[in-house]
Amino acid sequence: MSQRLDYFKLSAGFAGKYLDFNMTLAAKPVIQEFSHLVTIRASQLNGCGFCLDMHVKEAKIHGERELRLYHIAIWRESPLFTPREKAALAWTEALTILPPQGIDDDIYQSVRAQLSEEDISDLSFLIVAINGWNRLNVAFRTVPGSADAAYGLNKAGLN
């Protein structure tokens, strides 16, 4: 399957601003704590091969343990994640697969038991961001690994 179009080139102004938005998010401590888990899980749920490939490689470069990467898909059953990480993953799933009736109070309260309101708010913007990237890359069939050289992802050793 080949890429349909290069949205980053064709809509450079929008793409650049969206990238700036992501870079601003990256400065927040809660984003640094959960970004790899959240971006990988949302990309799994959305079937975005480009983003999944990219964020697994980034996580590996930043020292994430390989077994934890494999366990993200089964985070509920896995003993490898902390209660805070599980809360972030639960919130990621809730915001990525929005139920018709909205987010259940039980889910919010369980997340709120682990994270501050500010952390939930900041984390929500990260989830919004990755879901947007997922939708763009799925729509335009961005090829997994096609930006490895540009983003230094070859260092992951996962080629």
**Measured CA distances, 158 to 60, 61, 148 (Å):** 9, 10, 10
What tokens appear for 134 in the block?
């997922």
Contacts of residue 106, defined as CB under 8 A and 6 or more positions apart, other chains included, come to none
Mean per-residue pLDDT over the chain, rounded: 95
Per-domain residue ranges for the chain?
Answer: 28-141
Given a cut of 80, whether residue 1 has pLDDT beyond it is no
Q: What is the pLDDT of residue 139?
A: 97
Q: What gap in Å lies between CA 24 and CA 28, rounded to an integer?
A: 8
Tens of pLDDT, residue by residue over 30-79, are 999 999 999 999 999 999 999 999 999 999 999 999 999 999 999 999 99
Per-residue pLDDT band at 94 (split at 50, 70, 90): very high
8 Å CB contact between 116 and 124? no
pLDDT at 152: 87
What fold does the segment set 28-141 form as a domain? AhpD-like (1.20.1290)
Cβ neighbourhood burial of 145 (10 Å; 0-12, 13-18, 19+): middle
Residues 6 or more apart in contact with residue 61 via CB below 8 angstroms: 152, 153, 155, 156
Whether pLDDT at 8 is above 80: yes
Confidence of residue 158 (pLDDT cuts 50, 70, 90): confident
